[in-house]
Structure formats: C-alpha cells, structure tokens
C-alpha cells in the first residue's frame, strides 16, 4: 500500500486515539471519539518549495488549508523544512523558520498604486491603468532618447535614459522573461543584486 | 561555488574568510559541522570580528578589514619559499611553466602601462604569454625561465614577508603562521581545503583580486576540482546565482555570453574574439562553441525573424561604449539628471546602495519610477518624510512612482539556482494577496502594452520589439513551464547525426544538452548552460531522488545542476595525469576506466580523451590549464596586489609608503563628486564594516513579525577597549558618522572586537548591521548605507561596503 505523508498522519492520529481508548477499557461513544484532536496537518495540502532568503536553497514544505475546491483559495498557515532535502535535511534557520510571517506580512502589497509628482499619498489604480501609463512613459522616453548610431556613425542601438534593476529572489523564469523584454528595448542600465 | 553545500563534508580543512557562514548561511554551515564531526576536519576563520563562525573554529585570526590580499599574498610567499605546494598539479594543470612577454613589469606598486589620467592600464598587451613560431604559448617545464609564471609570481610576492603582512593586516605573527601552517598541510595530494567566502571578499575596491588570490592559493595546494575543495562563493540571495547565469547584468547575455562593444561592428569579429583557438596542442578551448550558444539564444528570442542574412539579429543587440553601465555608473548618471525612468524589481536600492543621500537625490530627479515588489520598500517611499530617518521635502519631489504588487515564492511555480548551481523547481502553495501578480505576468503585460503602441504608432527602432518571439499560449501571462522549456531549448529542424545521417532529434523536441546546439539556426536555447534542465524526459529540475550511492554527497538525482548536471566544476583535476584520483578512497570523483572518463560525478572533460592524449583539465581556457597569471583580464594587473581601502585608517600603503598614487586601487573608477566625499583618518579614525545578522534577511524580514521581535532595534558593535576610550557603555545611544552622513543607534560593547596594531597605529573596528529602515514592523532606524562610500571594485564595480572610516560619539 502506498501511503503519502498526509494519509500517514491520518492513520497515526486515528491509531493513537483508538489504542489509548482501548487502554482505558471503555467503549468509546461517538461523541467522545469526535472530541479527539486530530493532527493539525491532517487536512492540509502540501507544496514543495525552496526558501527564498539566502543561497543555501533549503527545501521547505508549505502547508495550506482550504477545501481543495476549484473555487477556494488555499491559505498557507505553516512552513517547515523538507526532511528529504539533501542540503538542509529538514532544518531551517531563524530566518527560514519565520517564513510564514513573510507570506502573511502586513507589509504585503495588495493593489497597484501610484504616487503623483509632489504628492504625499498613494492612490489605488487598476492594473490596466498602470500598464497603460507606464507603457506610455516608457515609449515616449525611448522614442525621444534612443541612440541608433554613435558619433562615429557606428550602429549601436542603445537606450540609456531608462534603466532596470532586476530582482534577486525571483525565479529563473521571471528573470529570463525580464531579460528578454529589457534587451529588446535596448536597455544597458540593467543589473541585478549580484552587482552589489 | 565551484563545489556545493553537501560536498563541504569531504573537506579536510575549511577556511572561512570574507564571510560568516554560521550566521548568514546556517543550514549550509551544517556541512562544516559535518566535516568536523565525521571527517576530522579543522575550521579556520580569518575575520575582523570574532564571529559566530569564529566561535566554533579551531583557530581564529583577526585581520584588519580590506587587507586580505596581503594575508594571502604572504601565504603564497610562505608556500613557495617552503616548497609546500602540490607539485604535479601545478606543473601540469596550471600556467606556472608558461613564459610571459618581456614587456611585462611591476615597479613601485604599479604594473607596466599605467596611465594616471585614465586611472587604468589602457595598454595591457604585455600582460600575456610569449608565443612560439607554431602559434602556441611557450612553456618551460623546468620552471627555471626567469619570465615563466612561477618565477614572476615568486618575485611578485617576495615583498609579502610575515613582518610586512602583520604590519598591514594587524594579525599577530604567531597566529598568522599557525593559520598558514595548517593550510600548507593540504598541499599533500589527496588532502583538500575548501574556501568559503561571501560579501566580505566581494565588497571591496579590490574585491575581485581578493577572490583571485584565494583561487591562486587553492591552485598552489591542488585544491581546485577536488571533493571538499574549491573556491566557494556563498551567495547572498536565493537566486542571485540564477539571475547571473541568465545574464541580467549590464554587459551580459544569458550563459555568460557578452554584449558587443561599439567598435565590434562586424558580427564575425564579435564571434571570433569570443571563440579563441587553443593556445597549447591538444587542448579543447570549449568557448570555440560560442557561436552555437549565441545563435541558439537569438533563435530563442527572435525565432524565424533572425537568420544568416541578418547575422542572426546582431544589430538588434545594444552595444556598449563603456565597459559597464553598472548601478554606480547608472545612479551617477541619474544624479547628474541624465536618466528619466527606472524600474526596481524586487530590489531596494535606497537601502542597498552606498551613500543614501546621493541615491535619494538621484531618485528625486527621475520622471518615473516603477517598483515591483511583494513588500513595501524604502525605495518605493523614498519621497515620504519619516522624520530623521528619511528627512526629505516631499512636495519638491516630482517623480511619479508606480508600485506594483508581486507574488512571492510561495505563490508561484518556478526554479531557483542555489549557490551550488542546483536548479531546484518549486511549486505554488497558495494564492497571493489582493491583486498581486507574478513578475512574469507583469513583464508580459507591460511588453504587450508596449508592443501594441509600437504597432499602432511606430517609433524609434521598433524591429527588436515587434520581432521578439512571443508565441506563448497566453501572451500576457506566459507560464513558468513554457519559459523553462524555452530556456532549455529545442530543435527548430530535424537534427541529423553527422556521420550516419540518422535523425537524432525531431523538430520541436526538447534538447537534452548543450552539445546538441548548433550555429546554423537549427536549434534554439535561451541559456545554453541550462540546456538539459527540461528535456524530452521532462523537468529535470523537479527530480527528487536524494540517493547518494557512493557516499560522496553528490546526489546526482536531486534537482539538476549546471552545467550538464555536473556537481563539481573542473573535476578532471581531482585525478592525476594518469587519470587516477589523487586519493582513490576518500576523494574518488572522476577517473579514466581504460575506455572513458567516469565517476561519482559527471566528468568535466571530453569523455573519450585518454590521459596520454595530454588534454588538460581546464577546458574552458584556451591554454587548457588554470591561470595564476590573469593575462589581460583584470583591471589592476595579472597578479593581485594589496591596495588600501579608499578610506584607510593608516593613510598609506605600507608596501609602497612613499607613492601616494598606489595607496588605494589605482585602477578603480571614482566619480569626481564622490572623490571629494572620501573621509580621512584624522577626522574619521575608526575602520567600519557593515554586515548581516542571523535573525534578519537584508531589508525583508523587518516586515516579518517573528524576526522583528527577535531583533527589533538598530545597533552598532564596538570593542571594549574603544568603549573605554570613548566613555561608551553597552546600551548607550551613539552617533556614527562618515564624511557622507550619520546614523544613530544603540551601542553593543563587546569582547568580540579587539583593537589591532597596524603600521604602528592602534586601529579599532566598528561593526554596523544593515537591516533597518523606515518601513516595516521592526523599529524605525537609519539606513546604514547613509555612511558608505560610492566607489566600487575595479572590475565588477561592487561597492566598498566592507571598509570605510567613521567617527563614533555618545549622544
């Protein structure tokens, strides 16, 4: 029989309940059985992930609650080290052990916002408005300042008046797409955290 | 890392220098503990502070910040003078026998060809090997030729006597020799030492040369390519390695391909310069495949729009008129008002870059700033007045700032590359808050809108935008799977076996390795180094077999490591010239089995090249061997030389006390307005260094409740002796100032920082953690980088965060 981690916890939980009741020598009533506290992770979903902090790349397991239904979003409430991972073997450091507070931080941004010139506040905007306004600013600056040829007449096709600072913890896939887009625009002021 | 985390267990000796792994990489540091417990390994720590790593070391040696080249230079002299090097290794696997051109010279702290006005070496042509009539580099296997690399190196480091090193570094001579002696023991074939370093080596104006010095040390001892050996950069962030591999840097393309310079107008010259022919007979010179990698990249980006007739879209790549538009250069341009727009993707430059006042002024001169981040950052609120922590005039800042919420790691699929070059796939565990979107979707959405505008309106040079291949299922939100497959690459046409004509890979199929890449447009691969990560057999990065059948810690079935799932780079060098491991019991990595190379790791070599054919292990170099002599590849010269930090507590370079031109790195770029902002030891007498704490990750975890509770408030560390001198007790509030500004914080007075005797002066260190700012759950604090100088390493331009001068007063 193949037992996955979640089923294993269910079996263990039920087993402990059943054996301790038997030891008491009483016939369990249904209501009493219901009051047994089940293992917290029994009804969770697991996802394998990697700690996003330092470069050790520790394996972590994300535990989320939710019905699993298509229209229900899963809520991650617990994170622990992945015992199968060859590097961290289930351990986490003081940073990684607090990861769930990162996901649930009150500082998480919820909506696109804009701060207008001279203003002292954020204003919520839609994604579509954000994309439209940014695309317009980008295009106007690129069209005005793109350099096709240098003073010697050589083809150089670069754009120096807008720059891009790429991330340090985004995935390879996000990084690859970012590079593809940024270079197609001719940007050279392009770096990631590796520079510092 | 040339090696990887689990491999540290194979080390006989661990040297931690320029890093504090126990504090910054705790779960990786477990492998040092493993080596100590089960391999009887010793741990050496050389650091200005008695760190958490030092607290479990067998020997700790204090060193003044910024003087590591002197320490290692002295060690190199010690090993050469006492003949404690791995003879067979250095003779056969390094450039020691190579003869250098006669124009090469070193005098008064400068190599030949220095131009003081340019602050550099415009003509480096003499920094190279002498070529024979056959076109190959000349060698003298007896190592007696006065201009062979061995003799030149011996001469160069002859000045680094123990007395001189101790005078520069402040390390007591006895302790220094104890460390050197222990290190020298690993020159025995089969003994290996690993070097673990981090930002304590990179963040100096001579950072690249410090790391080179470390690499030279490892070559002398025969420790490169060995299990438990190598030069191991413990990188700071979870995917800095991957983003570097993917070339997200000013001058790079994916897979360490490089952008052309202005003068490289000809495509064929561009390729020829990057695909050098072998410099010695029988060598591989693997970069000769450069064009296959380059064309495959361009096919990946531009598909059918690029072909042989348009030089595979060569003119669509921007060309460089300066070596780099790195962040210091770009923020200097911004400060000068020459930049209008800037994007920050998961990056907080006002916290992370030196001289906050300059960064803040630069951002204020932008027309628009776009910040993408899962968290609110100081940068996104640089315009907000937060009392003394960010004292700006909001109304006068005209920058339009957009803040776009992104998902975090837990809310998306994808891969990250750890320090050991493992590409590990991860899976989404929950939904993001509010309307947050993945970075891919944001870049896709932005590109989509932009391309629409160019289609409708035309504009400046639209070709690369309109022709960018964008055949994703949902153009505004490509999936991570699609992108990962694209980075790996596929066949654009049927690929035939060259001898039999048989079809090897059908058009449209995923490629299985970069050996299949071709320069004729029949293959596409977005990053040749990642080719093999998502094959026809599926996603190799998602593999989870942690078996380690040889007990060597290589776990070849776990995730996927670049290149070619190889776990230790240059591993051919772990075997002797006959193809037998230097130690066949504990260090068996790769070997020649009579027919082919095989082993516990994927051999880093031509699998069928027998040892007697004489191919050398360093196949990426055209000479086939590793370099002590850097040729023309470094800004400061072919051998690392000690120069003082730009802000030096002793005011002179003890190696050349009478030549002020070589006090600090003579080839480092300094912008005019920043030169004036360097402080001197009369006004700012103490050597300061910045660092991280185990409870915090950069500027992120001050947004996490538990970490904000663990380390709530900003502090600085000073030694007891300094505290007594200045009348500062633990818990007092102090002001720490440099010539660029000040911060105020609580003083921690500690026994862990001792005064050092340097060049006849007493030098105190001041330790400044950097985690605080003016947003988040922890108490507000000053941005530490208010203090740091705006100058970078001569090659990488990584800022000198680790060595500068401050004054400390009680407030």
When pLDDT is cut at 50, 70 and 90, the band that residue A14 belongs to is: very low
- Give the CATH number, domain containing residue B205: 3.40.228.10
Both tokens of A4, joined, read 């996955």
Longest dimension (CA), chain A: 96
Touching check for A166 and chain B: CB below 8 Å?
A: yes
Neighbours of A145 (CB within 10 A): 17
Q: State yes or no: pLDDT of B475 exceeds 60.
A: yes
For residues B487 and B510, what is the distance between their CA atoms, to the nearest angstrom? Answer: 10
Of chain B, the percentage scoring pLDDT greater than 70 comes to 100
Q: What is the pLDDT of residue A39?
A: 78
Q: pLDDT (tens digit, 9 = 90+) per residue, A85-101?
A: 999 999 999 999 999 99
Q: Is the pLDDT of residue A144 over 50?
A: yes
What pLDDT does residue A74 have? 85
Tokens (6 digits) for B751? 């026994």
At which of B193, B217, B236 does a domain end? B236
Nearest 10 degrees: Cα torsion A135, A133, B377, B354: 60
pLDDT at A106 over 90: yes
Q: B46 by DSSP, 3-state: which?
A: strand
Cβ contact, residue pair B415, A189, below 8 Å: no
Domain boundary at B198, B219, B236, which? B236
Mean pLDDT of chain B: 98
pLDDT of residue A16 exceeding 50: no
> Cα distance from A11 to chain B (closest Cα, Å)?
24
pLDDT in tens, B338-375: 999 999 999 999 999 999 999 999 999 999 999 999 99
pLDDT at B620 over 50: yes
Residues 623-682 of B with CB under 8 A from A: none
Question: B370 in helix, strand or coil?
Answer: strand
- State phi, psi for A175 to the nearest 5 degrees: -65, -45
**Window B:476-505, CB contacts with A under 8 Å:** 478, 480, 483-484, 486-487
* pLDDT at residue A17 tops 50: no
Closest B-chain CA to A91: B27
Q: Which of A2-11, A168-177, B453-462, B487-496 has the lowest average pLDDT? A: A2-11
pLDDT tens per residue across span B540-571: 999 999 999 999 999 999 999 999 999 999 99
| R_g of chain A, CA atoms, integer Å | 26
pLDDT the model gives residue A21:
46
- Give the Å distances, CA to CA, from B266 to A73, A141, B261, B273: 55, 29, 11, 11
CB spacing of A56 vs B27 below 8 angstroms:
yes
Point out the residue among B368, B694, B703 whose CB comes nearest to the CB of A93: B694
B527 touches chain A (CB under 8 A): yes
In chain B, the residue whose alpha carbon lies closest to the alpha carbon of A115 is B401
Chain B segment 202-231 residues within 8 A of A by beta carbon are 203
**Best B22, B704, B801 residue to mutate vs chain A (most A CBs within 10 Å):** B704
pLDDT over 80 (residue B167): yes
Nearest to B424 among A57, A130, A141 (CB): A57
Q: How many CB atoms lie within 10 A of CB B560?
A: 26
Chain mean pLDDT for chain A? 87
Q: What pLDDT does A19 receive? A: 47
Q: Which of B330, B440, B776 sits opposite A177 (nearest CB)?
A: B440
- The CATH code of the domain that includes B793 is 2.40.40.20
Which residues in B lie closer than 8 A to residue A74 (C-beta atoms)? 429-431
Give yes or no for a contact between B394 and A116, defined as CB atoms under 8 angstroms apart: no
A46-107 CATH fold: N-terminal domain of TfIIb (2.20.25)
Using alpha carbons, select from B764, B762, B785 the residue that is nearest to residue B773: B785
Q: Is B495 left (phi over 0), alpha (psi -120 to 50) or beta?
A: beta
Supply the pLDDT for residue A26: 54
Higher pLDDT residue, A8 or B794?
Answer: B794
Q: Do A156 and B318 touch (CB under 8 A)?
A: yes
- Note whether residue B67 is domain-resident: yes
Chain A residue numbers touching B530 (CB-CB < 8 A): 172
pLDDT at A75 over 80: yes
- pLDDT, residue B240, reads 97
What is the distance in angstroms between the Cα of A82 and the nearest Cα belonging to chain B? 11
pTM of the model: 0.95
Residue A37 at interface with chain B, using a CB cutoff of 8 Å: no
Let me know: does B314 contact B270? Beta carbons within 8 Å.
Answer: yes
pLDDT (0 to 100) of residue A43: 81
Instruction: Report chain A residues whose CB lies below 8 A from the CB of B319.
Output: 154-158
Give which of A65, A171, A183, A187 to mutate to test B binding, by max B Cβ within 10 Å: A171
In the structure, what pLDDT confidence band is assigned to residue A25 with cuts at 50, 70 and 90? Answer: low
Domain boundaries, position B139: 6-236
Please determine, for residue A3, whether its predicted confidence score (pLDDT) is greater than 90. Answer: no
Q: What are phi and psi of B122, to 5 degrees?
A: -65, -30
Q: What residue has token string 């299949």?
A: B516
A71/chain B closest Cα distance in angstroms: 12
Chain A, 62-121: which have a CB under 8 Å from a chain B CB?
Answer: 62-64, 73-76, 79, 81, 84-89, 91-99, 101-103, 105-120
Domain count for chain B: 2
Cβ–Cβ of B797/A195 closer than 8 Å? yes
Q: Give the separation between CA B323 and CA B316, rounded to whole angstroms.
A: 19
Nearest alpha-carbon partner for B189 in B93, B298, B100, B283: B93
Buried b / exposed e along B290-321 (16+ C-beta atoms within 10 A): bbbbbbbbbbbbbbebbeeebbbbbbbbbbbb
| Partner residue opposite B409 with nearest CB, options A113, A156, A169 | A169
**Residue, of B118 and A23, whose pLDDT is higher:** B118
> Looking at residue B562, what DSSP letter applies?
T
CA distance B711 to B715: 10
**Min Cα–Cα distance to chain B from A4, Å:** 15
Q: Beginning with the edge strand found earlier in the chain, give each strand of the sheet holding A162-165 in spatial order.
A: A123-124, A113-115, B400-405, B368-373, B341-345, A162-165, A190-191
Q: Which residue of A has its CA nearest to B478?
A: A177
B142 within domain boundaries: yes
Residue B520 clears pLDDT 80, i.e. is over it: yes
pLDDT of amino acid A1 = 44
Do B410 and A135 count as a contact with CB atoms less than 8 A apart? no
Measured between beta carbons, which residues in chain A are less than 8 angstroms from residue B238?
50-55, 57, 168-169
Which tokens belong to B374? 């899962």
User: What percentage of chain B exceeds 90 in pLDDT?
Assistant: 99
Test B338 with A146 for CB contact under 8 angstroms.
no
Establish if B724 touches chain A: CB-CB under 8 angstroms: no
Mutation choice for B interface testing from A86, A91, A147 by most B CBs within 10 A: A86
Q: Does B383 touch chain A (CB under 8 A)?
A: yes
B340 and A86 in contact by Cβ < 8 A? no
B chain contacts of residue A103, beta-carbon cutoff 8 Å: 408, 410-411, 430
B320: chain A residues, CB-CB within 8 Å: 158, 188
> Which residue, among B667, B698, B766, has the nearest Cα to B209 in the 3D structure?
B667
Nearest residue of chain A to residue B234 (CA atoms):
A55
> In terms of CA atoms, which chain B residue is nearest residue A188?
B250
Q: How confident is the model at residue A31 (pLDDT cuts 50, 70, 90)?
A: low
Residue A93 near residue A102, CB atoms below 8 Å? no
Averaged pLDDT, B526-534: 98
Residues of chain A with Cβ-Cβ distance to B408 below 8 Å are 52, 102-103, 108
Per the CB < 8 Å rule, is A170 touching B346?
yes
The answer to whether the CB of B372 falls within 8 A of the CB of B442 is yes
Look at residue B579 and tell me if it is in a domain: no
Residues in A touching B419 (Cβ below 8 Å): 55-57
d(CA B148, CA B141): 9
pLDDT band, residue A69 (cuts 50/70/90) = confident
Residue B779 confidence (pLDDT)? 97
Q: Does some domain include residue B374?
A: no
Q: pLDDT higher for B702 or A69?
A: B702
Interface check A150 vs B, CB under 8 A? yes
Indicate if the pLDDT at residue B483 is higher than 50.
yes
Of B177, B210, B236, the last residue of a domain is B236
Is some CB atom of chain A closer than 8 A to the CB atom of B773? Answer: no
Dist. CA B676–CA B660, nearest whole Å: 16
Confidence of residue B456 (pLDDT cuts 50, 70, 90): very high
* Residue (of B198, B194, B196) closest to B226 by Cα position: B194
Averaged pLDDT, B111-129: 97
B437 CB neighbours in chain A (<8 A) are 127
Contact in structure between B274 and B287 (CB atoms under 8 Å): yes
| Average pLDDT of span B248-276 | 98
Contact A113 B403 (CB under 8 A): yes
Mean pLDDT within B583-600: 97
Per residue, the 3-state secondary structure of chain A, as one string, reads CCCCHHHHHHHHHHHHHHHHHHHHCCCCCHHHHHCCCCCCCCCCEEEEEECCCCCCCCEEEEEEECCCCCCCCCEEEEEEECCCCCCCCCCCCCCHHHHHHHHCCCCECCCCEEECCCCCCCEECCHHHHHHHHHHHHHHHHHHHCEEECCCCCEEEEECCEEEECCCCCCHHHHHHHHHHHHHCCECCEECHHHC
Residue B135: predicted pLDDT: 96
CB contact B136 to A (< 8 Å): no
- Chain A within 8 Å of B338 (Cβ-Cβ)? yes
Q: What is residue B783's predicted lDDT score, i.e. its pLDDT? A: 98
What confidence score (pLDDT) does residue B595 get?
97
- Spell out the domain ranges in chain A: 1-43, 46-107, 113-195
Assigned domain for B775 exists: yes
Q: H or E segment at B446?
A: helix B439-457
The answer to whether B234 faces chain A, any CB pair under 8 Å, is: yes
Which residues of B fall within a CB distance of 8 Å from A49?
A: 409-410, 426-427, 429
- Cβ atoms B653, B160 nearer than 8 A: no
Task: Specify if B793 maps to a domain.
Answer: yes
């Amino acid at each position: 029989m193949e037992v996955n981690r979640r089923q294993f916890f269910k079996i263990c939980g039920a087993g402990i309940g059943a054996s301790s009741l038997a030891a008491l020598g009483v016939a369990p009533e249904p209501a009493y059985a219901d009051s047994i506290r089940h293992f917290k992770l029994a009804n969770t979903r697991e996802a394998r992930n990697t700690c996003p902090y330092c470069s050790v790349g520790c394996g972590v397991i994300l535990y989320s609650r939710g019905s699993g239904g298509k229209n229900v979003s899963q809520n991650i409430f617990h994170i622990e080290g992945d015992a199968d991972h060859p590097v961290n073997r289930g351990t986490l450091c003081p940073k990684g052990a607090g990861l769930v507070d990162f996901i649930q931080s009150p500082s998480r941004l919820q909506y696109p916002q804009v701060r207008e010139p001279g203003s002292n506040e954020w204003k919520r905007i839609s994604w579509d408005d954000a994309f439209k306004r940014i695309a317009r600013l980008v295009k106007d600056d690129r069209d005005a300042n793109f350099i096709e040829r240098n003073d010697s007449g050589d083809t150089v096709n670069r754009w120096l008046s807008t720059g891009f600072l790429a991330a340090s913890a985004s995935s390879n896939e996000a990084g690859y797409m970012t590079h593809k887009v940024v270079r197609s625009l001719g940007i050279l002021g392009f770096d990631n955290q590796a520079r510092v | 890392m040339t090696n990887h985390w689990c491999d540290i267990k194979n080390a006989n000796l661990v040297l931690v220098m320029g890093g504090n792994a126990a504090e910054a990489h705790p779960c990786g540091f477990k492998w040092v503990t493993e080596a100590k417990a089960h391999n009887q390994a010793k741990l050496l720590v050389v650091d200005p502070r008695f760190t958490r790593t030092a607290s479990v070391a067998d020997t700790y040696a204090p060193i003044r910040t910024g003087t590591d080249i002197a320490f290692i230079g002295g060690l190199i002299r010690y090993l050469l003078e006492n003949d404690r090097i791995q003879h067979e290794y250095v003779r056969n696997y390094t450039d020691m026998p190579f003869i250098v051109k006669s124009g090469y010279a070193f005098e008064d702290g400068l190599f030949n060809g220095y131009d003081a006005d340019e602050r550099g070496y415009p003509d480096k042509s003499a920094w190279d090997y002498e070529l024979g009539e056959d076109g190959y580099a000349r060698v003298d296997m007896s190592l007696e030729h006065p201009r062979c690399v061995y003799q030149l190196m011996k001469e160069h480091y002859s000045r680094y006597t123990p007395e001189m090193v101790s005078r520069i570094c402040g390390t007591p001579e006895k302790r220094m020799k104890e460390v050197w002696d222990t290190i020298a023991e690993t020159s025995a074939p089969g003994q290996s030492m690993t070097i673990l370093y981090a930002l304590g080596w990179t963040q100096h104006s001579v950072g690249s040369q410090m790391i080179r010095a470390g690499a030279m040390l490892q070559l002398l001892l025969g420790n490169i390519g060995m299990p438990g050996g190598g030069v191991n950069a413990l990188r700071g962030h979870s995917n800095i390695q991957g983003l570097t591999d993917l070339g997200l840097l000013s001058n790079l393309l994916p897979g360490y391909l490089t952008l052309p310079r202005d003068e490289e107008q000809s495509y064929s010259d561009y390729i020829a310069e990057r695909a050098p022919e072998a410099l010695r007979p029988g060598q591989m010179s693997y970069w000769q495949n450069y064009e296959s990698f380059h064309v495959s990249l361009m096919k990946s980006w531009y598909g059918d729009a690029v072909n042989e007739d348009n030089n595979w879209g060569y003119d669509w790549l921007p060309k460089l008129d300066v070596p780099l538009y790195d962040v210091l250069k770009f923020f200097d341009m911004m400060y000068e008002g020459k930049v209008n727009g800037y994007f920050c993707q998961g990056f907080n430059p006002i916290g992370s870059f030196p001289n906050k006042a300059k960064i803040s002024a630069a951002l204020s001169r932008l027309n628009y700033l776009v910040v993408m981040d899962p968290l609110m950052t100081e940068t996104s609120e640089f315009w907000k007045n937060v009392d003394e922590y960010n004292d700006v005039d909001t109304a006068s800042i005209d920058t339009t700032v957009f803040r776009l919420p992104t998902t975090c790691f837990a809310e998306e699929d994808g891969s990250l590359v750890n320090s050991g070059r493992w590409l590990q796939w991860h899976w989404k565990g929950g939904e993001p808050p509010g309307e947050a979107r993945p970075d891919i979707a944001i870049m896709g959405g932005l590109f989509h809108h932009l391309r629409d505008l160019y289609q409708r309106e035309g504009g400046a040079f639209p070709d690369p935008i309109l022709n960018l291949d964008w055949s994703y299922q949902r153009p505004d939100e490509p999936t991570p799977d699609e992108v990962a497959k694209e980075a790996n690459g596929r066949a654009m046409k049927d690929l035939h076996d060259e001898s039999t004509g048989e079809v090897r890979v059908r058009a449209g199929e995923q490629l299985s390795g970069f050996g299949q890449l071709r320069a004729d447009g029949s293959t596409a691969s977005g990053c040749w180094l990642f080719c093999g990560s998502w094959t026809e057999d599926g996603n190799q990065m998602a593999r989870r077999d942690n078996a380690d059948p040889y007990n060597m810690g290589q776990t070849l079935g776990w995730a996927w490591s670049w290149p070619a799932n190889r776990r230790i780079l240059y591993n051919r060098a772990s075997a002797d010239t006959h193809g037998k491991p230097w130690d066949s019991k504990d260090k068996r990595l790769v070997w020649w089995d009579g027919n082919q190379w095989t082993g516990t790791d994927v051999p880093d070599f031509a699998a069928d090249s027998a040892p007697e054919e004489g191919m050398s292990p360093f196949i990426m170099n055209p000479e086939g061997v590793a370099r002590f002599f850097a040729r023309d590849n470094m800004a400061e010269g072919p051998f690392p030389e000690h120069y003082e930090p730009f802000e030096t507590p002793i005011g002179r370079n003890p190696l050349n006390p009478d030549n002020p031109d070589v006090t600090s790195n003579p080839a480092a770029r300094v912008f005019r307005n920043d030169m004036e902002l360097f402080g001197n030891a009369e006004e700012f007498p103490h050597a300061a260094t910045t660092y991280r704490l185990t409870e915090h990750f950069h500027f992120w975890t001050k947004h996490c409740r538990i970490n904000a509770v663990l380390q709530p408030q900003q502090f600085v560390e000073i030694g007891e002796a300094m505290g007594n001198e200045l009348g500062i007790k633990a818990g007092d509030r102090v002001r720490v100032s440099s010539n660029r500004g000040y911060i105020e914080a609580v003083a921690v007075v500690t026994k862990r920082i001792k005064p050092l005797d340097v060049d006849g002066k007493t030098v105190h260190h001041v330790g400044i953690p950097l985690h605080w700012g003016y947003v988040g759950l922890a108490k507000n604090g000053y941005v530490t980088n208010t203090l740091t100088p705006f100058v970078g390493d001569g090659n990488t331009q990584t800022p000198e965060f680790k060595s500068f001068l401050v004054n400390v007063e009680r407030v």
